[in-house]
Amino acid sequence: MDQSNKEVIHFSPPLYRQRYNFVKDLVDQHKPKKVADLGCGNASLIQTIKCHSCIELLVGVDINKDKIDSQRCTLSPFCGDYLSPRDLNLSIILYHGSVVERDSRLLGFDLITCIELIEHLDEKDLARFPEVVFGYLSPAMVVISTPNSEFNPLFPAVTLRDSDHKFEWNRRQFQTWALSVANFYNYSVEFTGVGEPPARAGNVGYCTQIGVFRKIGAKATESCIAGQCDEHVYKIVYTVSYPSLQQKEVRKFALTSEVSRQVQSLKRRYVSSVKILQDDESIHKLNDTGIITFFGPVFTELEKTNIEKSPKPFCFGNKFYVPLERLFAYPKVNRLCENVDMMRALIRDTMRLNRDGSAVKVDLHDP
């Protein structure tokens, strides 16, 4: 076929995004707590999966220090992470180092990903790679993706897809290598891929071929083998910890913010309903708080029942009171505290309570 007449192949979503989504789906399915991405580059995969609530430690390793150092801002917590903190702690660490060097800080991981990595290794490093990743680190699962060279003739240029690639394997070559590694290090391996070929292409396989390796029998290494605990060869480039409900001050801040938001919302509804009733003599149907229904959060039937059964907000003079039991009935509040007593203890220093501490008190007409 004349190269100039070849159609440009467009992947939707883009091929790199399909690879990341593949890992994202694996995380959804297997719920790993500790994940490392070898050859992390600009940390895009880490950025993609850091939102998963199951992950408590995310590590990236790359030989290019400048590339990983430039991604600090994309991995830092945002305001929303403090307003809606995670249930579990999350730490992200980026290391500068080679993936064929041993570092004991990567022992005991649930998942290690190597996305478009091995084709960048020369013959010597490729020979060391299985020994380090499968033999030394020995995680519960390894995901390796690499270009499928059988797909290359479909592109306008049939040379290597990247100038830094040392090789690109066809499916038989990759599967032969992967099966050999799996058998030697006691793993199983399944083959799949992303990037469907066009209908006219025949049986060339996926554009990106993927091997998913699972440790057979024994779990991933959970403790350091004698003499390995002090093997720290990687250099830390960046580290950050995300706010979580495991941290008392974070829980306190999040709870206070949510309680304040809920109290102000109830007060606004009360003031609006009173104004409407004063302006219109017709009878209005009130909701369970004695307030006209406005657009708001959607609750399940059980949540609605719990809210309806809780004490209602009330007004006395120019003060508006919301019972703590009422606030605790709201899902976003009770997620942040175990009971009403815990709520009271966490908010008493930052919010006004009534005399017996059973309700939050605010000025009715204070803007």
Domains of the chain in sequence order: 15-242 (3.40.50.150), 248-279+290-363 (no CATH)
- Amino acid making up residue 269: R
Q: Write b or e for each residue in 203-220: b if 16 or more Cβ atoms lie within 10 A of its Cβ, otherwise e.
A: ebbbbbbbbbbebeeeeb
Lookup: tokens for 214? 């699972």
Cα 214 to chain center, whole Å? 22
Supply the pTM of this predicted model. Answer: 0.80
Using CA atoms, how far apart are residues 129 and 220, in angstroms rounded to an integer? 17
Using CA atoms, how far apart are residues 367 and 3, in angstroms rounded to an integer? 70
Helix residue spans in the chain (DSSP H): 15-30, 44-49, 65-69, 72-75, 79-83, 123-130, 171-184, 248-279, 301-309, 324-328, 331-334, 340-347
| Sign of the dihedral defined by the CA atoms of residues 337, 341, 344, 345, in that order | negative
Using CA atoms, how far apart are residues 187 and 147, in angstroms rounded to an integer? 22
Contact by Cβ (8 Å): 168, 152: yes
**pLDDT recorded at residue 232:** 92
Using CA atoms, how far apart are residues 114 and 351, in angstroms rounded to an integer? 49
Contacts of 218 (CB under 8 A, 6+ apart): 186
Q: Is 144 helix (H, G, I), strand (E, B) or coil?
A: strand
Contacts of 322 (CB under 8 A, 6+ apart): 262, 263, 266, 267, 313, 359, 360
Using CA atoms, how far apart are residues 19 and 24, in angstroms rounded to an integer? 9
Kindly report whether the peptide bond that precedes residue 147 is cis, defined as omega within 30 degrees of 0.
Answer: no
Q: Quick one: how many helices (H) and strands (E) in the chain?
A: 12, 11
Using CA atoms, how far apart are residues 202 and 86, in angstroms rounded to an integer? 47
Using CA atoms, how far apart are residues 328 and 314, in angstroms rounded to an integer? 16
pLDDT (tens, 9 = 90+) of the chain, 367 residues, equals 444 455 678 889 999 999 999 999 999 999 999 999 999 999 999 999 999 999 999 999 999 998 888 777 789 998 888 878 999 999 999 999 999 999 999 999 999 999 999 999 999 999 999 999 999 999 999 999 999 999 988 887 767 777 889 999 999 999 999 999 999 999 999 999 999 998 888 789 999 999 999 999 865 444 455 455 678 999 999 999 999 999 999 999 999 999 999 999 999 888 887 776 666 544 444 444 444 444 456 788 888 888 889 999 999 889 999 999 999 999 999 989 999 999 999 999 999 999 999 999 999 877 6
Using CA atoms, how far apart are residues 364 and 359, in angstroms rounded to an integer? 14
Please list the residues that pair with 188 across neighbouring strands.
214
**pLDDT recorded at residue 186:** 96
Please list the residues that pair with 86 across neighbouring strands.
244
Using CA atoms, how far apart are residues 42 and 138, in angstroms rounded to an integer? 25
